[in-house]
Amino acid sequence: MNSPPPPRSQQFATLVASQPENELFRFSLAQALLAEGRPHDALEHLEKCATRKPDWMMPRILLGKALVGLGRKADAKPWLESALQLAIAQDHDDPAAELRALLKDLA
């Protein structure tokens, strides 16, 4: 019998281990971890992506959502606010609307 394939996060964890400074590998690993229901494990990778690339909106959104999901609303708020500023500056209307709604729910 065939065994199930390894979790997707395992593939990306191997890539991150081989190139720890590669933000795209880290972002992909974080997305896989979130998809596997492991938000706590994704936090470190999302935070590294967000801090290393200050104009990258998506890691901030995912980091904020993960923190909200973990009950850490106060920690999530600055990430979501910075993501909203990037969404506005980069003319991303749909993410901006979603972020406004998320922030309103946090208030």
Instruction: With respect to residue 66, please indicate whether it lies within any of the assigned structural domains.
Output: yes
Is 37 among the domain residues? yes
In the prediction, which pLDDT does 1 show? 61
Identify the three-state secondary structure at position 6: coil
- The string of pLDDT tens digits covering residues 1-39 is 677 767 899 999 999 999 999 999 999 999 999 999 999
Alpha carbon distance 15, 81 (integer Å):
31
Predicted pLDDT of residue 7:
84
Residue 6 pLDDT = 74
Q: How many domains does the chain have?
A: 1
Q: Is the predicted pLDDT of residue 61 greater than 90, yes or no?
A: yes
Taking CA 90 as the corner, what is the angle to CA 85 and CA 92, rounded to the nearest 5 degrees?
90
The proportion of the chain whose per-residue pLDDT surpasses 90, expressed as a percent, equals 91
Specify if 3 maps to a domain: no
**Residue 15 covered by a domain:** yes
- What does pLDDT average to over the chain? 95
The backbone torsions φ and ψ at residue 22, rounded to the nearest 5 degrees and listed phi first, read: -80, 105
Specify the CATH number for the domain of residue 46: 1.25.40.10
Structural domain includes residue 2: no
Range of the domain at 87: 8-106
Yes or no: say if 80 and 61 are a contact pair by the CB < 8 Å rule. yes
**Residue 52 to residues 23, 47, 55, 92, 95, Cα–Cα distance (Å):** 8, 8, 9, 21, 21
Q: Is residue 18 part of a domain?
A: yes
Is 1 inside any structural domain?
no
Average pLDDT over residues 40-44: 97
pLDDT at res. 10? 95
